Amino acid sequence: MAEAATGPLRVVILGGGFGGLEAAKALATAPVEVTLIDRQNHHCFQPLLYQVATAALTPADVCWPIRGVLSGQANTRVLMAEVEGIDLATRSVRTSGGAFPYDLLVVATGATHAYFGHDDWEPFAPGLKRIEDATDIRRRFLMAFETAELAADPAVRAALTTFVIVGGGPTGVELAGAFADVARHALPRDFRNVDPAMARILLVEAGPRILAAFPPKLGAYAERALTRMGVEVLTGTPVTAVDAGGVVAGGERIAAGAVVWAAGVAASKAADWLGADHDRAGRVNVAADLTLPGHPEVYVIGDTAVVADARGKPVPGVAPAAKQMGIYVGRAIAARSRDAGPRRAFVYRHQGDLATVGRKSAIVKLDRLTLTGFAGWAFWSLVHVYFLIGLRNRIGVAFSWAWDYVTFGRRSRLITQPAGPEPAQPTSAARRATRSRTSRAR
């Protein structure tokens, strides 16, 4: 390539998630200059965020400084800055930390939660994408019990200890199961005025069944398991309103102490930055080699891209897909830096689907293997510990799980100051909700 004549290829990677990190690692020995830019200083292991939200793990268990992961790669620098735009003509990324010219660009900026045109619901129903979301949800969940403990009116206590999880995908199912576990097993001895074991946990799904990505039999298994744990699973129940007092689901008002949004995601602003074609979720349409059509120097990967698998089905927005794309692109760039021939198209290999259902059960669907119950949970645990980065985190997380499994404890039940927008006011909201219910009853 022309630029290579004046020095090593400058590769800029935007995003230190699963895709961006794998792309950088695949370039470890390539004769290129890698700059990885992320607005956070840490990589977040999103599949375990729900365990931080439910006080089982601490932020440091599931987040690692990106610098630490890549510190051994001499050709790579990591910068913490917010992307503000991409200039395709001059090949430069504008960020809060200055402009960075590139010869090759990898856009791996992920996705965020989407409210389908109801962004005003966000303050009342946070999603679960960043570590701050997880500590925010943890705070709301625990604060609801604290506020209920202070409430004299049983109806107010009942409203405050009702939790609604919107969306019956894997995140919603895992959150509902974990909330039920904490409420039933970890908290009851701690309260005098409130019985956390009586907390209502509702999993609300607009579609006909939960876990649509899994075979119907496994979805039904999970639904039965959740129901046995005391989770109320409402399918075919669209949520039409969310406010400080709770939700309207299937036309019915449900007063709640906390609401969590697990119903949808939208891609990051990459399509805007690139002025690119995208689907309704904002994901950029890419060519078979994951480049932006007309721009062979720009790759878009992970949750930011829409790609079809071998059967023409869209590649799911899961960590293994992002990692596979990151490795593919890293190797493609390494080959280009060595002037190797044209690359084959990206092929997605679906490795399977996993989801926990409470503290000792999981469903696992691999190619030839289906597991449920404790066997599924054991498999799930091994896989997730394996994919954590660093021996220190593996030991720490495995120890936490083993400890909690034996003691039913939840160590990280900390309410820390809110970050970002002010939280909903559960007390007054719940009171309002209770009043309206009371007046209807009259």
List the catalytic residues.
Answer: 174
Question: Positive or negative CA dihedral for 373, 379, 385, 387?
Answer: negative
Stretch near a copy of itself under the rule CB under 8 A, chosen from 58-66, 112-120, 177-185, 275-283: 58-66
Pairing of strands 162-166, 200-204: parallel
- The reply to whether 131 sits near a copy of itself by the rule CB under 8 A is yes
Please pick, from the candidates 89, 417, 440, 441, the single residue that binds a copy of itself as defined by CB under 8 A: 417
Based on the number of CB atoms within 10 Å of its own CB, is 73 exposed (0-12), middle (13-18) or buried (19 or more)?
A: middle
Stretch near a copy of itself under the rule CB under 8 A, chosen from 107-115, 127-135, 226-234, 273-281: 127-135
Instruction: Kindly determine how many residues on this chain lie close enough to bind a copy of itself according to the rule CB under 8 A.
Output: 51
- Closest to a copy of itself by CB, 8 vs 396, is 396
- The reply to whether 40 sits near a copy of itself by the rule CB under 8 A is yes
Interaction residues for a copy of itself, span 167-206 (CB under 8 A) = 189-193
Number of H helices, E strands in the chain: 13, 25
- Contact assessment for residue 111 and residue 321, using Cβ atoms and an 8 Å cutoff: no
- Closest to a copy of itself by CB, 98 vs 342, is 98
- The reply to whether 88 sits near a copy of itself by the rule CB under 8 A is no
Residue partners of 217: CB distance under 8 A and separation at least 6 = none
Which amino acid does the sequence have at 323? Answer: K
- The reply to whether 84 sits near a copy of itself by the rule CB under 8 A is no
Rounded Cα–Cα distance for residues 410 and 401 (Å):
10
Backbone angles phi, psi at 37, to 5 degrees: -120, 130
- The reply to whether 415 sits near a copy of itself by the rule CB under 8 A is yes
Interaction residues for a copy of itself, span 135-154 (CB under 8 A) = 135, 142-143, 146-147, 149-150
Rounded Cα–Cα distance for residues 84 and 95 (Å):
5
- Closest to a copy of itself by CB, 131 vs 180, is 131
Instruction: Compute the half-sphere exposure of residue 260: CA atoms within 13 Å on the CB side of its CA.
Output: 32
- The reply to whether 82 sits near a copy of itself by the rule CB under 8 A is no
Based on the number of CB atoms within 10 Å of its own CB, is 322 exposed (0-12), middle (13-18) or buried (19 or more)?
A: buried
- The reply to whether 80 sits near a copy of itself by the rule CB under 8 A is yes
- The reply to whether 240 sits near a copy of itself by the rule CB under 8 A is no
The binding site for a copy of itself (CB under 8 A) comprises 40-42, 58-60, 63, 65, 67-68, 71-72, 77-81, 97-98, 131-132, 135, 142-143, 146-147, 149-150, 189-193, 392-393, 395-396, 399, 403, 407, 409, 411-420
